[in-house]
Chain A
Amino acid sequence: GENVEQHPSTLSVQEGDSAVIKCTYSDSASNYFPWYKQELGKRPQLIIDIRSNVGEKKDQRIAVTLNKTAKHFSLHITETQPEDSAVYFCAASKKEYGGSQGNLIFGKGTKLSVKP
């Protein structure tokens, strides 16, 4: 089955710096890669996602890159702010043609701390 590895487990940056979180996956059939942000005691919230037919996607300060050949994808946060502090999870799944998304396999998470 699919296995998702996420690094680093903790990341501390100064406000205004960039943060990069990396994930690798094992199943070459995986084709959907979302990133979730989870603040303490709250639900995971989708911040950005990418599908396998795209190599990069940006949304303001957040970007995700995907390398299908190497089976890894990364989250990039620029100009970090204290409110970016949270645990970030990457995930992977296979979307069956004409079907549902399928279950998400999550990484173990990265605790990001942005120091003012």
Chain B
Amino acid sequence: DAGVTQSPTHLIKTRGQHVTLRCSPISGHKSVSWYQQVLGQGPQFIFQYYEKEERGRGNFPDRFSARQFPNYSSELNVNALLLGDSALYLCASSLYGGQGRDTQYFGPGTRLTVL
């Protein structure tokens, strides 16, 4: 749980810009999921990756994209930022298929503000 890291911690962008958020999973975890948490709401699923392949996609526009690297770290990219993209972006890692314990552990998040 404490091993999931995200960068940057905070980010301020203007409308129309592009942003890249980064996540490193817990050592040994092979799956990374991205969530968007708007203030006062529960996290909303954006993407899940396992072994560099997309395993799931939530109801987000094509402006959102992601990828996973051979070391299992991941990037979330958002193009053409809108004011409504302002949120806490959470990364969660899980151990795929490990003894049935695929609990997701969250990172500290990246707080994105779009002005």
A and B: partners?
A: yes
User: Which residue of B has the minimal Cβ distance to A102?
Assistant: B56
Interface residues of B in 18-45 (CB under 8 A from A): 31, 33, 35, 40-45
Q: Are B109 and A43 in contact (CB under 8 A)?
A: yes
Q: Are A106 and B108 in contact (CB under 8 A)?
A: no
Q: Are B94 and A100 in contact (CB under 8 A)?
A: yes
Q: How far is the CB of A32 from chain B (nearest CB, A)?
A: 8
Given A43-B106, A46-B103, decide whether A100 and B42 contact each other with a Cβ distance below 8 A: no
Bin chain A's interface residue count. 20 to 34
Q: How many residues of B contact A (CB 8 A)?
A: 30
Q: How far is the CB of B93 from chain A (nearest CB, A)?
A: 11
B48 contact set on A, CB distance < 8 A = 100, 102-103
Q: Are A43 and B104 in contact (CB under 8 A)?
A: no
Does A62 belong to the interface (CB within 8 Å)?
no
Contact of A43 among B40, B42, B45, B90 (CB under 8 A): B90
Q: Are A103 and B45 in contact (CB under 8 A)?
A: yes
Q: Are B106 and A106 in contact (CB under 8 A)?
A: no
Contact with A along B95-114 (1 / 0, CB 8 A): 01100101111111100000
Contact of A103 among B42, B58, B106 (CB under 8 A): B58
Contact of A100 among B44, B45, B55, B106 (CB under 8 A): B55
Contact of B104 among A6, A42, A98, A104 (CB under 8 A): A104
Does B72 belong to the interface (CB within 8 Å)?
no
B105 contact set on A, CB distance < 8 A = 46
- Give Cα distance in the complex from A13 to B19, angstroms: 42
B96 contact set on A, CB distance < 8 A = 99-100
B4 contact set on A, CB distance < 8 A = 43
Q: Are A104 and B45 in contact (CB under 8 A)?
A: yes
User: Which residue of A has the minimal Cβ distance to B102?
Assistant: A101
Q: Are A101 and B108 in contact (CB under 8 A)?
A: no
Q: How far is the CB of B56 from chain A (nearest CB, A)?
A: 5
**Contacts A43-B106, A95-B102 supplied; 7 other A-B pairs, CB < 8 Å:** A34-B103, A89-B43, A100-B50, A100-B96, A101-B102, A103-B58, A106-B44
